[in-house]
Structure 1
Amino acid sequence: MKTLYVRIVVTFLLIAVISSAAALLLSNSYYSAKLRDYNEQKILRISQEIRGLYEEIPGLAPGEYLTRIANMGFQVYAVDDSLRGTFYGSPFKHKEIERDTIVRVLNGETYHGVMEERHLLLVTGFFENSIRNSIGLPVRSGGKTIALFIRPDMEQQIGEVRILMALLLGFTFLLSLVLIVISTRFIVKPVQKLTEATNKIVGGDYNIRMDVTRRDEIGNLARHFTQMAQSLEKLDQMRQEFVANVSHEIQSPLTTIQGFAQSMLEKGASPEEERRYLRIIEEESRRLSSLSKELLTLAALDKETSALKPSSFRLDEQIRQIFITTEWQWTEKELQLQLDLPELVIRADSQLLHQVWLNLIANSIKFTRPGDTISVQIRQEQQEILVSIGDTGPGIPPEDLPHIFDRFYKGDKSRNRSRSGSGLGLSIAHKIVALHRGSIEAKSLPGEGTLFQIRLPKL
């Protein structure tokens, strides 16, 4: 019983058996509480009518009369005062009855055999073909008393109904079994397809087709599974692209360093060229060092091994400190600053947020034109803090805007490598803000500038 198909079929069968047993117990309780007394009173009234009709017709032969009563759907057992008994109608299956019972009826008592408890399930006593399951009455016949035991002949009265009910229940069970076996296949088949699709994904094949038209739980599972496969495919493509980009970003400066170093070793360059080569080698080495630090930072953020270390600090002072640190860069380009930094104390990871502001402000300085304006505004709202960092630079093209937070994405492919950076800065900033349960959004129009809005929850 290892397959889901067998488990479901067996489960349905167990449910059918348990529900049948429970239904039998409930029926037995209902029969005991409601129908048992009613059935006994009904048989008693019929027996009294049979006795009354016989006693009202003098000279009526008891054998002929009881035979006709038996032909009307009753089983009769008549015992005279000599304790000799005669059966009329269909024979009783169980003919045993206590002698004391017969004597009491002959002495004028009424025997209520239907009400005597002889079965664990009382409802089965309704169908017991036994003299003990009858009504016993004394009947006067020709100056003598006869003990008359009467019960309905179930075979004659409702025999066809019993057969019909047996066939109905039997066919219902068999057809239910067949339908369970068939319908279970429709339940298990989508699960089997999901298993096959899982094996394909494990093998690297993300091109799967599932039945997503169903509106039940299976269809919902198929839709979510399809979305998961698409996400895994995208993640795998991002991983491959990430490896390729890292290799490219590392290989390019290494090639530059190797080429200039080889030229110097071969002594084919003048002292002025050697100094220029050394400066280029130094710049490329710094780029490699910066790239390795950013990759380590991003890897730590992805694994969330760098848990947040919140502390209280002045956000406005932190941003002012960044402008002081980068003063020589923005003064060299004669940039205008518009700062709206009201005093605000927040609780967050100071080092990580410092990296966010430094990255965004450095990008604004790097990509704006001489004489442009950089603006920074802090606004405190009800449930969050809004930091807006904007510039009046050339802006970001609409086709590049949705991808600026992607790793290694560089919108302007014409920019030189030293100026464009590694393409990881905005990805790191996005990840840091997400770890603070905040959001970062970029708005830009070509030729009018770019605005970054960072929302941080109040802790």
Structure 2
Amino acid sequence: MKSLYSRIVITMLVVILASSLLGFFLANIYYQLKLKPFNDEKTTKIAQEVQQFYQSNASLSLDEYLQSVGELGYELYLTDGGADSSYYGGEFRKKALPEKTVDRVLRGETYHGIDEFNTGIFITGFFDNDIQNTIGVPVKVDGETEALFIRQDPEQQFGELRIFFAMILVFTSIISILLVLISGRYIVNPIVKLTNATKQIRKGNYDVALEVKRKDEIGQLADSFAKMTGELEKSEAARQEFVANVSHELQSPLTSMQGFATLLASDTLTEKERAEYLAVLSEETTRLSSLTKQLLTLASLDQEAELRKKDQVQLEVQWRQLLQTTEWSWRAKEITINLELDEVNCTGDAELLYQVWSNLLTNAIKFTPTSGAINIRLYQDASHAFVEVEDSGIG
């Protein structure tokens, strides 16, 4: 699996390479459209100046004159179209020149070889040291026309410059790669810290310090992560405290039940004692059942809101069902139930609402003395439903 760091580095290197290739391609297009005609025109002007200067100074030795021009950084080729031909200045790498080209110049035409030379799409064709990649002009020598071909000597004019640009390219490439490696590490390092912190939290270690001092999106992510860690730590502490409390609450009735169950196994108990112990067991069982229901209710409330039921609930029907279900408990204490129940409908979880009413009524029955009274009122206004449970007990 590739790491994020390697992906960033590879992406940056690909971007650099693609940008370089695209820049080289655009430079070639610019050379073909602009520089190539410009170089042809410039070299043509130089060839014509050489031609005109010699024609104006016929007393000059043509060989010496052309040799001097060649030493200034030019490559020259002089021919009469036959066996008499001479080279001056730098040496052409390719010396094959079509006869029809020589004939054109001997007839008085100017040969635009730089513009006509097929260099392909690459600018490197400009440096192709081919005799066809020249400018040809006619020159009168002792009354005879000869063809003079001339071009700049790339070795003298661009030799050191090419080395200079090559060094620039090498150093630029090395520095670019180093900067990519460093910047990639700078970008990825906070994410690595977040990953390590996540592993620590997964192990239960919430004491994780993130030293990320950045103001960008990664810095915001680190800040949010730190806040989330704090909330998780609080939640974990609350959970552990809740588990401890629940364990204690469950242990108390279980211990009591175990003790009384052991006593009931004894053959020395009187009927009265046995009845008392059975009553205690029943009460503890009821208490344990109530705790279990409360835990189930809490777990249900802790679920996401979209997972809860949303039904149309008839509250008056629920209360009448609840009173019927608990009739034995409030009749046993001779409690009077006074009802004032309107027909009230609401949207909610029917089971949870029933549990709420059950808790209210159970507590009211528990704290209401014998022959007491419980008043239950259910009504609603334009936007709310109201349930009032009042008992005659203490408090």
Give the TM-score taking structure 2 as reference length: 0.78
Could you tell me which residue of structure 1 aligns to residue 45 of structure 2? 45
2:126 aligns with 126
Match of 1:413 in 2: none
Moved more, 349-358 or 39-48: 349-358
- The answer on whether the counterparts of 1:211 and 1:219 sit within 8 Å (CA) in structure 2 is no
Match of 1:226 in 2: 226
Alignment of 1:2-401 (within 5 A): 2-116=2-116, 118-266=118-266, 271-299=271-299, 307-314=307-314, 317=316, 346=347, 348-356=348-356
Higher helix share: 2
Instruction: Evaluate the alpha carbon distance shift between residue 61 and residue 201 of structure 1 in structure 2; reply closer, same or farther with a 3 A threshold.
Output: same
* Aligned-pair CA distance for 1:287: 1.8
- CA deviations on 1:221-275 (whole Å, 9 max, x unpaired) are 3333334433443444344334333322221101122233334444666654543
- 1:96 CA drift (Å): 2.7
Q: Is residue 117–residue 133 contact of structure 2 (8 Å, CA) maintained in 1?
A: no
Amino acid at match of 1:351: E
Which secondary structure state, in structure 1, belongs to the residue aligned with residue 163 of structure 2? helix
Letter in 2 for 1:62: L
> Which amino acid counterpart does residue 206 of structure 1 have in structure 2?
Y
Query: Which is worse superposed, 105-114 or 370-379?
Result: 370-379
Residues 268-312 of structure 1 deviation map (CA, whole Å, 9 limit, x = unaligned): 666545433322221210122233334345446656799545443
SS of 2:229's equivalent? helix
Inter-partner Cα distance in structure 2 for 1:302 and 1:12: 47
5+ residue gaps, structure 1, are 394-446, 448-459
Per-residue deviation, residues 122-146 of structure 1 (Å, max 9, x unmatched): 3222222222222222222331222
Amino acid paired to 1:64 = E
| Change over 3 Å in CA distance of 1:143–1:366 after alignment to 2 | farther
SS of equivalent residue, structure 1 residue 312: strand
Residues 150 and 117 (structure 1 numbering): CA distance in 2 closer, same or farther, change over 3 Å?
A: closer
CA distance in 2, matches of 1:211, 1:334: 67
Residue 297 of structure 2 contacts residue 352 of structure 2 at CA under 8 Å; is this kept in 1? Answer: no
The structure number with the bigger radius of gyration is 2
Structure 1 residues 187-210: Cα deviation after superposition (integer angstroms, max 9, x where no partner) = 343343334333333333222111
Q: Distance in 2 between matches of 1:301 and 1:15?
A: 53
Aligned with 1:58: secondary structure?
Answer: coil
Change (3 A) 1:362 1:257: closer
Shift of 1:5: 4.0
Give me the whole-angstrom Cα distance separating, in 1, the residues matched to 2:146 and 2:26.
40
Q: Distance in 2 between matches of 1:361 and 1:27?
A: 89
Gap change, CA 1:387 and 1:280, over 3 Å in 2:
same
- Alpha carbons of 1:67 and 1:102: their partners in 2 closer, same or farther (altered >3 Å)? same
CA contact (8 A) 1:93 1:129 kept: yes
- Judging changes above 3 Å, is the alpha-carbon distance between structure 1 residues 282 and 323 closer, same or farther for their aligned structure 2 residues? closer
Residue type at the aligned position of 1:219: G
Q: Given that residues 364 and 374 in structure 1 are in contact (C-alpha distance below 8 angstroms), is that contact kept between their aligned partners in structure 2?
A: no
Cα separation, 2, equivalents of 1:213 and 1:376: 58
Verify the 8 A CA contact 2:190 2:218 in the aligned structure 1.
yes
SS class of match (1:131): coil
- Distance of 2:120 and 2:180 partners within structure 1: 33
In the alignment, is the contact (CA less than 8 A) between 1:112 and 1:136 conserved in 2?
A: yes
Deviation at residue 214 of structure 1 after TM alignment? 1.6
Q: Secondary structure at the match of 2:251?
A: helix
Partners of 2:250 and 2:136 lie apart in 1 by 108
TM-score by length of 1: 0.68
Which of 104-113 and 183-192 deviates more?
183-192
Cα distance between partner residues in 2 of 1:165 and 1:72:
23
Give, in angstroms, the shift of residue 102 of structure 1.
Answer: 1.8
**2:18 aligns to what SS in structure 1?**
helix
